[in-house]
Amino acid sequence: MPLRPPPPPAPSRPSAAGHVLPFVAGPAIAQLPTLSAYIDETGDRGRGPKSSPVFGMAAVIVEPTAEVAARLALQQLRSDFGTPTTRPLSWKDDIKSNHSRALHASTTLASVQGIKLIYVVVNKSLLSVGSYGDDVTVFYNVTAYAVLQRVLWAANYWPGGRRQVAIRFGHVARHNSTDTHRYFQLKSASPKSKVPFELISSLNWTSATQFQMSQVADLYGGFLKEAFWPDQFGNVNGEHLRHVWHQIRKSHGCVIHLGLMPRPDSQWAKGMPWFPCPTCPGK
């Protein structure tokens, strides 16, 4: 009798199974002015020889008026780059190693008023064995949760008062976003949580073609990639990230770590040749 293959092990992640409850703003929160957050990722979550050295996410947070301005800037870039109307503009397809285009994109977006950015970026080589980086789903969940926390803190302390926020993560191939939703749900149920989950008006994973702002988030992800992902000669280019530095959320005088969260620690970012904050107070 041939041996049967053993059954696959049951996922040990608590987020792998269970009910999914939508995040909905209560009546008082639903009265607050609105924000939208569009999040895109850069790099992959793998740990093999062909995997990216970094995995990061860029969140673009906008009020409705800033979203109009950002979409106008996007239309300008699409026109200038000749992006076909049949597809989204993307860092990969329209810019990548074209320095003039990257420069044009970063200077154009840097001039858009009212954009607030959150960045989380992980140096995979510095993650120890046994950490969240070992499992691609956990890796995504932990990174996305660091972004979510920072988006919600930004909404909570928004200039002029608290805001409700519609959150749209970019859909990632071969990732089950329901697992991430449950992961957030478990975090929100913790009595120790200091994250204002109540400000979420909606939470979704969307395709790159659904919202124009996802294209904007993709470009901001490209600036992050350039700054942290060494090229074939080992160099990083922080020029574009520096152009948009003023748009990254600041706290206590610096972007680290509520606006820019380098993982596993901020020394990695502070040691970059382009890092613009030599006397950084951020831990």
| Min dist. Cβ of residue 248 to Zn ion (A) | 10
Cα 214 to Cα 202: distance, rounded to the nearest angstrom: 16
| Min dist. Cβ of residue 280 to Zn ion (A) | 3
Sign of the torsion formed by the C-alpha atoms of 127, 168, 105 and 81 = positive
Residue number, 53 or 276, with CB nearest to Zn ion: 276
Which residues form the interface with Zn ion (CB under 5 A)?
254, 277, 280, 282
| Min dist. Cβ of residue 243 to Zn ion (A) | 17
Residue number, 222 or 282, with CB nearest to Zn ion: 282
Residue number, 59 or 260, with CB nearest to Zn ion: 260
| Min dist. Cβ of residue 9 to Zn ion (A) | 43
What's phi and psi for 170, nearest 5 deg? -70, 135
Query: Which string of b and e fits 10-25 if b means at least 16 CB within 10 Å?
Result: eeeeebeeeeeeebeb
Residue number, 238 or 282, with CB nearest to Zn ion: 282
| Min dist. Cβ of residue 281 to Zn ion (A) | 6
Residue number, 69 or 277, with CB nearest to Zn ion: 277
Burial of 96: CB neighbours in 10 Å, binned 0-12, 13-18, 19+:
middle
DSSP strand E in 6-86: where? 34-42, 54-62
CA atoms in the 13 A half-sphere facing the CB of 1: 3
| Min dist. Cβ of residue 47 to Zn ion (A) | 30
Residue number, 18 or 276, with CB nearest to Zn ion: 276
Sign of the torsion formed by the C-alpha atoms of 176, 18, 138 and 193 = positive
Q: Which helix (H) or strand (E) holds 212?
A: helix 212-228
